Amino acid sequence: MSLVHTLLFMLRQEQDMKLAVSCLRSLENSTYKTIVVYNQGNLDNNNLDNFLKTFNLDCHIIGDGTNAGTTVGRQKCFEYIWKNIPDTQYISELHLDMIFSPNWEDPLVTYLENNEEPLVSCGIVDKKGAMPFLNINTTLPDQLTQYDEFLMGLRTDSVVQGFTNPCIHVSEILKKTGGYNAAFLKGRQCFEDDSMLLGYYYYYGTKRGWYPKVNYNSVVYHEIAGQRMTAGGKSADNFNGLVKQYGTMGLKALSELHGSPWHKQYFLTRYQEGMNK
């Protein structure tokens, strides 16, 4: 069994470095330790390589330190894996503001092995102690050393409708659906996940009624989640690219694919607006 992680690396302030160290240190206790890192900026590849070598991880650096955006960065990671590590069965999407418990991937890989799904998301808890999709709030530990026990204690045998990062894809299906298409998604990152979900939705066919799932048998700390809920302005090009790629009916499908009331209302409203033009 093989899983390769993908991670976009960009430091904007001192706090980002602290988050990066916490994230990578926690990943040292993962079952799978190979990571394709896309360098989005602030460190050149040589300095980034020296930094990553301080962790017990097998890191492959791509990119040149230019912020190419989420869509391009993730897609380049996928393409690198398909070309250079072709036997990879699963591909994850990770963020630097995450903390992982030991062997966090195991329940998710087991789920994909036993269910006909193209991907599954991990349960998350954010910096406010909120656990989306379960509507639960908890109190975060005071010390970083307490997070392993804390995250393990949040695990529950619950699989619910929804999507979030981190997620794990079945590499073969992700490749068939194309991943993220930068030809359409040119604006500020915000709707690339929706494009990917629609690709899976149409891959399985609408008759089957597929929808994405969050598996709380594994829980990860994700400091800032749900960024699209506050994104505006520059994300318009990204949204328009989504509509150009999948049409207005794609928005209707997204209102049914997502589990949260916010997403359902957002995409249904945009679908209705499009139909009334």
pLDDT in tens, 156-206: 999 999 999 999 999 999 999 999 988 888 765 678 899 999 999 999 988
Q: What are the residues facing 85 on neighbouring strands? A: none
Domain-located, residue 259: no
pLDDT band of residue 253 (cuts 50, 70, 90) is very high
- Percent of residues, the chain, with pLDDT higher than 90: 71
Candidates 268, 262, 276, 264; CA nearest to 227 is: 262
- At 9, which helix (H) or strand (E)? strand 3-10
89 within 8 A of 31, measured Cβ to Cβ:
no
pLDDT > 60? residue 227: no
180 lies in which domain range? 3-227
Give the per-residue pLDDT at 231. Answer: 42
Give the per-residue pLDDT at 86. Answer: 96
Give the per-residue pLDDT at 261. Answer: 87
Domain-located, residue 138: yes
Domain-located, residue 270: no
Query: What does the mean pLDDT of the chain come to?
Result: 91
Domain-located, residue 151: yes
Domain-located, residue 236: no
Domain-located, residue 199: yes
d(CA 23, CA 25): 6
pLDDT > 80? residue 235: no
- The CATH number linked to 77 is 3.90.550.10
Give the per-residue pLDDT at 189. Answer: 63
Between these two residues, 273 and 54, which has the higher pLDDT value? 54
Domain count, the chain: 1
